[in-house]
């Protein structure tokens, strides 16, 4: 396995994901993890129909993903795993392989959150704390950026900034 990219994006699969991540890294295997999409044949069909010709999308529930042995199932190339929320990432973090993984926070703009990370990524304190916990547990930095060639923002830096703001306010 070259690298597993975990991406949190509340829009799941869209132009930036296809052009910026799938095509850029020539990713052939994509897993979208979402219980409601996995249960919806029409939504699954729509997401599969927009995939590049040489890419294979699997849509699965969180429970199905947790039963998957990623390293044995996907041995070559890149694997992109997409979830729609920090909570979903928290639920699957026990099945995140430590080696060769990269955790990316993409677009999280559809909810009301008070901590700006990028122009289209906003978190609340609970989500930020969860990301820091996952980062510490896996000894992996977690980065926010829309596209792979953009400068990534380390989530730990955002957390430290928030902690400094709280100290000043006290």
Here the CATH number for the domain that contains residue 97 is: 3.40.35.10
165 pLDDT more than 90:
no
* Number of domains into which the chain is organized: 1
Range of the domain at 54: 3-169
Q: What does pTM read for this prediction? A: 0.90
Per-residue model confidence (pLDDT) at position 14? 92
Per-residue model confidence (pLDDT) at position 99? 67
94 pLDDT more than 60:
yes
CA–CA separation, 119 and 116 (whole Å): 7
Contact indicator for 90, 82 with CB cutoff of 8 Å: no
């Amino acid at each position: 396995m070259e690298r597993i990219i975990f991406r949190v994006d509340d829009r799941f699969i869209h132009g930036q994901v296809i052009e910026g991540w799938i095509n850029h890294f020539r990713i052939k295997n994509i897993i979208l993890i979402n219980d409601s999409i996995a249960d919806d044949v029409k939504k699954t069909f729509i997401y599969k129909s927009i995939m590049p010709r040489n890419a294979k999308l699997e849509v699965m529930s969180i429970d199905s993903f947790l039963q998957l042995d990623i390293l044995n199932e996907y041995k070559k190339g890149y694997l992109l795993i997409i979830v729609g929320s920090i909570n979903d990432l928290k639920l699957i973090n026990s099945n995140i392989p430590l080696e060769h993984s990269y955790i990316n926070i993409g677009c999280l703009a559809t909810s009301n959150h008070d901590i700006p990370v990028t122009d289209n990524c906003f978190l609340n304190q609970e989500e930020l704390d969860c990301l820091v916990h996952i980062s510490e547990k896996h000894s992996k930095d977690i980065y926010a950026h829309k596209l792979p060639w953009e400068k990534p923002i380390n989530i730990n830096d955002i957390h430290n900034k928030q902690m400094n703001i709280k100290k000043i306010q006290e």
